[in-house]
Amino acid sequence: MGVLAGILLGRRRRPNTQVYDQIDREKLPAHVAVIMDGNGRWAKQRGLPRSAGHRAGVERVRTIIRMSSDLGIRYLTLYAFSTENWKRPADEVSTLMSLLVEYLTKELPELHEKGVRIRTLGDITALPEDVQAEIARAVETTRNNTGLTVNMAINYGGRQELVAVVRRALTEGVPPEKVDEAWISSALQTAGEPDPDLMIRTSGEMRISNFLLYQLAYAELYFTDTYWPDFDEAEYAKALVDFAGRDRRFGGV
């Protein structure tokens, strides 16, 4: 099957009830964070340009958002572009930016209809103006939605986020005794959201890569060799089933 045909069929597929049946709705994470890795290797394996891998990756963004929303998961954070991703060739950076704009333009009506709320993490002021405008439109349109919150981490870095928190404490003259875990949480870009319960990284890499450094303190980590463009409903279900079986003690016994 051609990539395009697969993508088209994938988009039209109805929810796979067999996949959903395996998932214990009582044991779902409230917040899932994902490092979507392996687009380039997926493309290389097929003799395709890296851009084809990213385009196929966008289909899986659709899948994971739709499935998270259908399952009633409250928060989903997707690492779309890190502060380090600027080191990639200019044409790849520009492909990623175009895909983001294309995705938001095309999907906004459906996301809004599903009650999805779009937010961003990271310094988006460094992005091209058209990208910023499209992001602002998506955030503004969905601001009051009460369904799944999707945090798109774009030009995001966990260390940079922590540096900003410390600077803020200093510039605002926050008294040292006021700087506790609750204050830090409220100063992070994820303020008001629960920390991720589950962090998924695809493609076999076992690193955090500057993602949500503070917030991931007690997250269950799930690593899979599957490349992001192959991370379909069944793969997501597998991660959720694995999570449901974890014994979370948060440092206790």
**34 lies in the site for ligand FPP, by CB under 6 A:** no
Provide the 3-class DSSP secondary structure of residue 219. coil
Minimum distance between the CB of residue 137 and ligand FPP, rounded to whole angstroms? 15
Q: Give the orientation angle of helix 50-71 with respect to helix 233-244, to 10 degrees.
A: 50
Gap between the Cα atoms of 79 and 41, Å rounded: 17
7: amino acid identity, one letter: I
151 is catalytic: no
| Site residues (CB under 6 A) for ligand FPP, limited to 181-220 | 203
Helix H or strand E segment including 208: none
16 is catalytic: no
**40 lies in the site for ligand FPP, by CB under 6 A:** yes
Size of the site for ligand FPP (CB under 6 A): 20
CB 147 within 8 A of CB 115: yes
Q: Which of 19, 29, 33, 57 binds ligand FPP (CB under 6 A)?
A: 57
Give me the catalytic one of 70, 85, 144, 195: 85
**39 lies in the site for ligand FPP, by CB under 6 A:** yes
Q: Are strands 198-201 and 220-223 parallel, antiparallel or unpaired?
A: parallel
**76 lies in the site for ligand FPP, by CB under 6 A:** no
**103 lies in the site for ligand FPP, by CB under 6 A:** yes
Q: Which of 28, 33, 34, 61 binds ligand FPP (CB under 6 A)?
A: 61
Gap between the Cα atoms of 213 and 199, Å rounded: 11
End-to-end CA distance of the chain: 50
Residue 47 DSSP code: T
Q: Summarize as ranges the residues that interact with ligand FPP (CB under 6 A).
A: 36-41, 54, 57-58, 61, 78, 80, 85, 96, 99-100, 103, 152, 203, 228
Catalytic residues: 37, 85
